[in-house]
Amino acid sequence: MILHVAERALAARNIARAIVATDDERVLDAVRAAGFEARMTSSDHASGSDRLAEVAATLDEADVIVNLQGDEPLISPQTIERAVEEILSDETAQVVTTSEEIVDAADVLSADVVKVVVDEHGRALYFSRSPIPFPRDAVRKYGTLVAALEKEPLLLQTFRKHTGLYVYRRAFLLEYTGWPQSTLECAESLEQLRALERGAIIKVIQADSPSIGVDTEQDLERVRKILEA
């Protein structure tokens, strides 16, 4: 899976270098054996961005750092390109990330699928493992969120799935990962909430095409079938 991710990272036209940051010798060996670059990092990091920052601190020549999570083997290179272009064109954004439509009601209910809501300028207001925004009137009408989604399929259009890609300004990344973990970050186990709680601007753009973050055995089987096809 990690080799698929590395290949897709390097397929993006505006990516100069791809480095797999890991604390596992097995991952390090597999990546290097396949001809990709990998770095061993500390095993004490609280999040992926903290691990990323350890490597980014050594990359003085880079102004923009992309965090592509290793469980996104279907990520589109075009999505990576668009996210990098966005942070270069929007001077207010400290981080750019991506989202996509939710087409399966089960994803709304799953805590493994992170949902995001944004303001009118595309800036993140909040990320959650819970269904947000919560359709209160529809749930009152039908009794449960499950029933509401079954009775009113158009409700799905109000939800957005966050995908595992972050583009950082390097200076902000190094500052942000020096902050202590926040209350919301720990509660939801979502590292981006540490930045939001400090007032950081996270721009959310539409992914070029759907992806599947591999968080469960079921996700793994779905991805295998897609790659085999």
Residue 35 forms part of a structural domain:
no
Which pLDDT score is estimated for 216?
87
Give the three-state DSSP class for 80: helix
**Cα(148)–Cα(132) distance, integer angstroms:** 14
> pLDDT tens across 44-73, in order?
998 888 999 999 999 999 999 999 989 889
Residue 149 lies in a domain: yes
Q: Provide the CATH number for the domain around residue 194.
A: 3.90.550.10
User: What's the domain count of the chain?
Assistant: 1
Does a structural domain hold residue 1?
no
Residues in the chain with pLDDT values less than 70 = none
Q: What's CA 48's distance to the chain center, in Å?
A: 10
Looking at the domain assignment, is residue 44 inside a domain?
Answer: no
- The structure's pTM equals 0.90
Q: Decide the pairing of beta strands 95-101 and 202-206.
A: parallel
Within 13 Å of residue 49, how many CA atoms lie on the same side as its CB? 27
SS3 of 190, please?
A: coil
pLDDT digits (tens, 9 = 90+) for 173-208: 999 999 999 999 999 999 999 999 999 999 999 998
Is 117 part of any domain? yes
Q: Is residue 77 part of a domain?
A: yes
Looking at the domain assignment, is residue 33 inside a domain? no
For residue 134, tell me if it sits in a domain: yes
* Predicted pLDDT at 162: 94
Count other C-beta atoms under 10 Å from residue 133's C-beta: 13
